[in-house]
């Protein structure tokens, strides 16, 4: 079980005692969930010209995606390649949220099925939730025609009576499921990018020996499967903390 991710940092000397992606001046922050069964009937579907995606309203996370233009094989009626998977035995999900926010209710969406229509270039999926203490969270996913990148914008508004301190996080939780590919040159594991080293592959074995614990500007982190990957790529140039936990 591996969960690499990134979170914003506030000081250049930040060094966490564990994998907890918390800001150094917020010692009471709770750790984001690392790995949990995500099979749920409370999902919404997003369909574009290149993607079929499911989002779990219990968490607001991306829990399934298949690539419509890439079949698993050349056989007739072959199913599309699947990247994200909410099945606990093959778990591979894109998680995001805020620390120090306890939700007792699911996220809300205006539709159960979102469909990119002919002539429509972008499709916005907005999820909203409010904690018992009045912290309003909004997640907006933007899907673009013919594009495989999904933009995520998260916002927080404190409507409660008490001050709130926390931060945003993004992470990928994935089980180490052996690959069934016959192509020996394909890679199955994690990868990380920084200006110093634009592309570094990290095997599951390496992750079990030593956790990722780096502060990087203009980087990204990913989990790879043969020929495809899922990555969090920050839009900011601000230094971020990258971590892993097995």
Q: Which of 24, 2, 26 is nearest to 13 (CA)?
A: 24
Instruction: Report pLDDT for 39.
Output: 58
Q: How many Å apart are CA 132 and CA 137, to the nearest integer?
A: 12
The answer on pLDDT for 77 being more than 80 is yes
Across the chain, what does the average pLDDT equal? 84
What distance in Å separates the CA atoms of residue 86 and residue 89, rounded to the nearest whole number? 9
Percent of the chain residues past pLDDT 90, beyond the cut: 66
CA–CA distance, 133 with 25 (Å, rounded to integer): 21
**Spatial separation of the C-alpha atoms in residues 218 and 232, rounded to whole Å:** 11
Q: What's the mean pLDDT in 221-245?
A: 92
More confident residue, 49 or 87: 49
Which pLDDT value is given to residue 3? 55
pLDDT over 90 at 189, yes or no = yes
Q: Are 140 and 153 in contact (CB under 8 A)?
A: yes
Bridge-based pairing state of the strands 213-216 and 220-225: unpaired
Q: Is the pLDDT of residue 204 over 60?
A: yes
Query: Residue by residue, what is the 3-state secondary structure of the chain?
Result: CECCEEEECCCCCCCCCCCCCCCCCCCCCCCCCCCCCCCCCCEEEEECCCEEEEEECCCCEEEEEEEEEEECCCCCCCCEEECCECCHHHCEEEEEEECCCCCCCCCECCCCEEECCCCCCEEEEEEEEECCCCEEEEEEEEEECCCCCCEEEEEEEECCCCCCCCCEEEEEEECCCCCCCCCCCCCCEEEEECCCCCCEEECHHHHHHCCCEEEECCCEEEEEECCEEEEECCCCCCCEEEECCC
Q: Which tokens go with 114?
A: 């979102």
**Band of the pLDDT at 134, cuts 50, 70, 90?**
very high
For strands 213-216 and 61-71, give the pairing: unpaired
pLDDT confidence band for 25 (50 / 70 / 90): very low
pLDDT at 216: 94
Our CA dihedral for 178, 181, 184, 188, rounded to 10 degrees, sits at -40
What percent of the chain clears pLDDT 70, i.e. is strictly above it? 81
pTM recorded for the entire structure: 0.85
**Arithmetic mean of pLDDT, 99-122:** 95
Whether the pLDDT of residue 130 is over 60: the answer is yes
Beta bridge partners of residue 158, listed in sequence order: 135
Kindly give the pairing relationship between strand 5-8 and strand 168-174.
Answer: antiparallel
User: Cα–Cα distance between 55 and 61 in angstroms, integer?
Assistant: 6
Q: What angle do CA 119, 44, 152 make, to 5 degrees?
A: 70
């Amino acid at each position: 079980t591996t969960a690499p991710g990134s979170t914003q940092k506030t000081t250049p000397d930040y060094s966490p005692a564990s994998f907890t992606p918390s800001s150094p001046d917020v010692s009471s922050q709770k750790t984001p969930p690392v790995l949990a069964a995500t099979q749920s009937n409370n999902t919404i579907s997003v369909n574009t010209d290149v993607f079929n995606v499911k989002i779990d309203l219990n968490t607001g996370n991306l829990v399934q995606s298949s690539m419509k233009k890439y079949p698993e094989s050349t056989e007739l009626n072959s199913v599309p390649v699947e990247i994200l998977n909410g099945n606990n035995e093959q778990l591979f999900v894109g998680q995001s949220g805020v620390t120090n926010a306890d939700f007792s209710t699911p996220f809300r969406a205006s539709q159960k099925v979102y469909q990119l229509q002919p002539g429509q270039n972008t499709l916005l999926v907005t999820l909203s939730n409010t904690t018992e203490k009045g912290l309003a969270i909004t997640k907006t996913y933007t899907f673009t025609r013919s594009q495989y990148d999904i933009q995520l914008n998260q916002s927080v508004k404190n409507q409660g009576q008490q001050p709130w301190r926390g931060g945003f996080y993004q992470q990928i939780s994935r089980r180490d499921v052996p690959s069934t590919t016959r192509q020996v040159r394909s890679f199955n594991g994690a990868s990380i990018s920084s200006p110093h080293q634009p592309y570094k592959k990290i095997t599951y074995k390496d992750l079990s020996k030593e956790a990722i614990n780096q502060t990087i500007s203009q980087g990204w982190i990913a989990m790879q499967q043969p020929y495809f990957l899922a990555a969090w790529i920050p839009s900011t140039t601000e230094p971020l903390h990258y971590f892993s936990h097995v």
